[in-house]
Amino acid sequence: MSTFPVLIVVSVITLLFLFKLVRNHKRDHSTKKNYPNGSMGFLPVIGESLSFIRAQKANRGQQWVEERVAKYGPIFKTSLMGGTTVFITGHAGAKFVLGAETEVLAPRQPVTIAAIMGKHNLFEVSGTKRYKPLRRAMMSFLKPDSLQGHIKRMDVMVNRHIDMATKGIETITTISFMKKLTFHVACQILFGITDDATEQALYEEFGHCFEAMWSAPFNFPGTTFRKGIRARERIVKKMLPIMEKRKEQIKKGTLNPMDDVLSCMLSLETEAAENGDQEEPITQHEVIDNFVAMMIASHDSSASVLTWVIWKLAKDREIYDNVVKEQMSIIYERKQRQQQGGADERLSWGDVAKMKYTWRVVQEVMRVIPPFFGSFRTAIKDTSYGGYDIPKGWQFDPSRFDNKLNTIPPYSYLPFGAGHHTCIGLEFSRVEALTVLHHLVTKFEWSLVNPDEKITRLALPYPEMGLPINLVPKNSC
């Protein structure tokens, strides 16, 4: 495994036209602002993107940064994904970015991600008046009190999916298995999509979208970015009639709007329009964009994390045994309650709350192999850091860093963000991961087909060959 990633804060501004590049270049040299040192690469728009992507695919992102830190210092500029970029290394940099108010620094994304997720998604509207109503709509479903009512349904769904996907199978490719499982859970629990054909079609389209988000921003026929744009268009076309049907069901009272987050957003759109609320109602564009953003955020990252937990449990027998011990004790206690007439056979919120050791294992895996290189930020106002000026419009991307102390200080453990920017899906991701691991470790033992498999990063960290594993059912042990 590679050494742990340094903490990086990255800023990106999308440069849409070549004349804008020239204008900004002249402006920077005509003022007395103290911008960071660095290289913008040799080609407009492309900059150092290709070398950065190559480093990521080889899991050498940290080395790529360290080489530039050695040359330019701990704060340096470059050009990535069509935009001016600033890297700030160190724990203090993360605190500066993640601790800042959204009036100064707000989440923003590079052009490729924004084009796929849509300009109305929650990340893009942070710091605007639309952020609070959209976040409130989504949190009405994602808050712990609401999620408690969906634990048993998730448990049944995960258990059934695992049984069907592993029946008669001795070897599975973990990342593919986890992607399909987490997408299935997201479709049904988060968005109420229960039709198998619709789910499969969306799964394929979202695969194109994810690839496009971290591609070169060239919207030409045959490019990865163009394929992603077209896939998004097909997703919207497929979802619009589903949304219209949901709104009619909500109006008639035949659908509970709290059944899923999509229906929840649609109900607030309908209620605001009917009641004439002063607050601007949630629009169809906002619902669509946040559906796309949440679907991407809720399954790809979870699949990556779960894959690396499976890897770790195969590598470390002691940790595997401790996780199994905790999960089997939960099954035993539930059976005891059943005999006393006080519980059913499904997982409960209380059961999940007892999975403390298992969750610590997941957290440690995310610390060692962070799921994301970072999340983007834009300077809403001119600001400065470390003696350098950071103009309005530049964006930041705080990455992860390893703290070798036993306690982890604020703004140093960041898989779910921090401060004002904590991920709204944290609780859902926790419950999903623990439910999946509960069933896997109580049903199977497994071994790695390729024990020395390397990491490649295509935005998220993936095993180079998908992490194939040999499964052994527990009743055969």
Where does the pLDDT of residue 106 fall: very low under 50, low under 70, confident under 90, or very high at 90 and above?
Answer: low
pLDDT at 25: 47
Q: What span, in angstroms and rounded, lies between the C-alpha atoms of 49 and 57?
A: 12
- In percent, the amount of the chain with pLDDT more than 70 equals 74
**382 pLDDT above the threshold of 50:** yes
Across the strands, what pairs with 11? 86, 377
* 393 or 171, higher pLDDT: 171
Alpha carbon distances (Å) from 459 to 55, 113, 210: 11, 11, 9
Q: Among 200-209, 258-267, 411-420, 428-437, where is mean pLDDT lowest?
A: 411-420
Q: Are 399 and 317 in contact (CB under 8 A)?
A: no
423 is in an annotated binding site: yes
Where does the pLDDT of residue 402 fall: very low under 50, low under 70, confident under 90, or very high at 90 and above?
Answer: very low
Q: pLDDT averaged over the chain?
A: 79
Domain boundaries, the chain: 1-119+373-407
**324 pLDDT above the threshold of 50:** yes
pLDDT at 118: 93
> Please, which residues have CB within 8 angstroms of residue 25's CB and are 6 or more apart in sequence?
none
* pLDDT single digits (tens) 345-369: 789 999 999 999 999 899 888 878 8
Q: Among 27-31, 56-60, 88-92, where is mean pLDDT lowest?
A: 27-31
* Sequence letter at residue 302: S
**399 pLDDT above the threshold of 50:** no
pLDDT at 101: 58
Neighbouring C-beta atoms of residue 422, cutoff 10 Å: 12
Q: What span, in angstroms and rounded, lies between the C-alpha atoms of 131 and 292?
A: 16
Q: Which two tokens stand for residue 378?
A: 């834009």
Cα torsion at 287, 291, 297, 302 (round to 10°)? 140
**268 pLDDT above the threshold of 70:** yes
* pLDDT single digits (tens) 228-247: 999 999 999 999 999 999 99
* pLDDT single digits (tens) 158-171: 999 999 999 999 99
Mark 81-105 as b/e (b = at least 16 C-beta within 10 Å). bbbbbbbbbbeebbbbbbebebebb
Q: Are 395 and 83 in contact (CB under 8 A)?
A: yes
**27 pLDDT above the threshold of 90:** no
**458 pLDDT above the threshold of 80:** no
